Structures are given as structure tokens and as C-alpha cells.
């Protein structure tokens, strides 16, 4: 699964899209071929993943999303190229998550996560998270987000909020399944009558 923020590198350039974080779609958008005529990789798939603060790109973890790397790959130099592209993609103060899948699992220092177009949001174990905005997400995993006090998931069909010990309000208009087990605060859940709720 491609995660925020994805990049595709060639020997001389770094590609990204304002529309997607899918490596395959980035390759299609820029007509990039993964292998050369000898079936050797000529592209490098990379992701910068937030670890604490979405706005602090210096803290993002750089991961190479393939086992076999091109022969031109030099980790320190190519990571620097990706970080420069990240600043080009998101000038200071303009970050917006446009990915269909947002995976912020385990970002314990993350305090706010806005996902205006994500259909799948994974924020499990983000213990510092106090605000989670998921206006169009169909699947929300906020398990163990102990700092959350309110969770509004207007179109989510599946909501996992188990272990959210600070959660006092959970609004979900169309959910089929809600897991709120381990929510030790005085939790009020607004959900359809047909929804399966685990407490």
C-alpha cells in the first residue's frame, strides 16, 4: 500500500503527484517505466512518513519501497533529493493530505490529523492525537488514540475506537460496525440503530 507522502525517483529527477500517493499512478502520470531493457530497476519508489508532526518534514522517516534498488542508488543523496521534493510539493504551511489511504499508525507525537479526501484512515496508537478530521473516510482506525475526546466520522461504515480512554463523544451517521471497547470515559455514541456496537 502506498502511503503519504510518495515519490518516484529516476537517476536525475524526483516525481510526485498532487492527485495521488500511489507509486503506480505517479508512474502512469509521468509515463515512467520501472525496468530498463535488461529488466533492471531504473526507478526508486520512496515514501516519507510522518512520525510526530505533519508540518515538520525533518522528522519524517524516509523508506525505500522496494527490495532491489537501481545501481545509481546512494541512500544519503537520494534521501536529500526526496526531502527537497517534499518542500517543493508542500511549501511551508500548505500541507493537505490528498491520499485515498492515510497511514499514520504509531505517530505518538502527532496532535492533529486532517484527511479531507481519504477514504481509509489508519491512526492506530497515535496517543498524542487530540483532533482527527475524517469527513469522507469509509474506514477509520483510531485504536489506542488516548488523547482523543471527540470523534466525528460522518460517512464511515467501520469505526475502530477501542482503547480511546479519553473519548467522550463518537458521532457516526451511517456506521455498520463500531468498536468502542476499552473506552473508559463516559462515552456517548450517536450511531444508526442497525449498527453493531462493541463496548
pLDDT tens figures, 11-38: 999 999 877 888 999 999 999 998 888 8
User: How many whole angstroms separate alpha carbon 196 and alpha carbon 199?
Assistant: 10
Q: Residue 185 has what pLDDT?
A: 87
Q: Which residue has the cell 483532533?
A: 131
Instruction: Kindly list the strands in the beta sheet with 177-179, ordered across the sheet, starting from the edge strand earlier in the chain.
Output: 101-103, 120-122, 139-141, 158-160, 177-179, 196-198
pTM of the full predicted structure?
0.62
Give the residue extent of every domain in the chain.
6-89, 100-199
**CB contact burial 105-124 (16+ within 10 A = b; e otherwise):** eebeebeebebeebbbbbbb
Q: Residue 90 has what pLDDT?
A: 77
Strands 14-15 and 61-64: unpaired
Mean pLDDT of 44-49: 92
Model confidence pLDDT, tens digit, residues 108-164? 777 888 888 889 998 998 888 888 889 999 999 999 999 999 999 999 999 999 999
Q: Residue 85 has what pLDDT?
A: 94
Q: Residue 95 has what pLDDT?
A: 56
Q: Which residue has the cell 517505466?
A: 33
Amino acid at each position: 500500500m502506498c502511503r503519504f507522502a510518495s515519490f518516484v525517483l529516476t537517476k536525475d529527477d524526483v516525481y510526485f503527484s498532487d492527485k495521488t500517493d500511489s507509486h503506480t499512478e505517479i508512474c502512469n502520470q509521468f509515463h515512467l517505466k520501472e525496468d530498463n531493457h535488461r529488466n533492471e530497476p531504473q526507478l526508486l519508489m520512496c515514501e516519507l512518513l510522518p512520525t510526530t508532526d505533519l508540518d515538520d518534514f525533518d522528522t519524517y522517516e524516509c523508506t525505500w519501497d522496494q527490495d532491489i534498488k537501481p545501481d545509481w542508488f546512494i541512500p544519503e543523496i537520494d534521501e536529500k533529493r526526496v526531502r527537497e521534493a517534499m518542500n517543493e510539493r508542500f511549501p511551508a504551511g500548505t500541507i493537505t493530505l490528498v491520499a485515498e489511504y492515510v497511514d499514520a499508525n504509531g505517530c505518538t507525537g502527532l496532535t492533529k490529523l486532517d484527511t479531507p479526501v481519504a477514504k481509509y484512515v489508519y491512526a492506530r496508537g497515535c496517543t498524542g492525537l487530540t483532533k482527527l478530521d475524517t469527513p469522507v473516510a469509509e474506514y477509520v482506525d483510531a485504536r489506542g488514540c488516548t488523547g482523543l475526546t471527540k470523534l466525528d466520522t460522518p460517512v464511515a461504515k467501520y469505526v475502530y475506537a477501542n482503547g480511546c480512554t479519553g473519548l467522550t463523544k463518537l458521532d457516526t451517521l451511517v456506521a455498520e460496525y463500531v468498536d468502542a471497547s476499552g473506552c473508559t470515559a463516559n462515552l456517548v455514541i450517536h450511531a444508526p440503530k442497525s449498527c453493531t456496537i462493541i463496548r
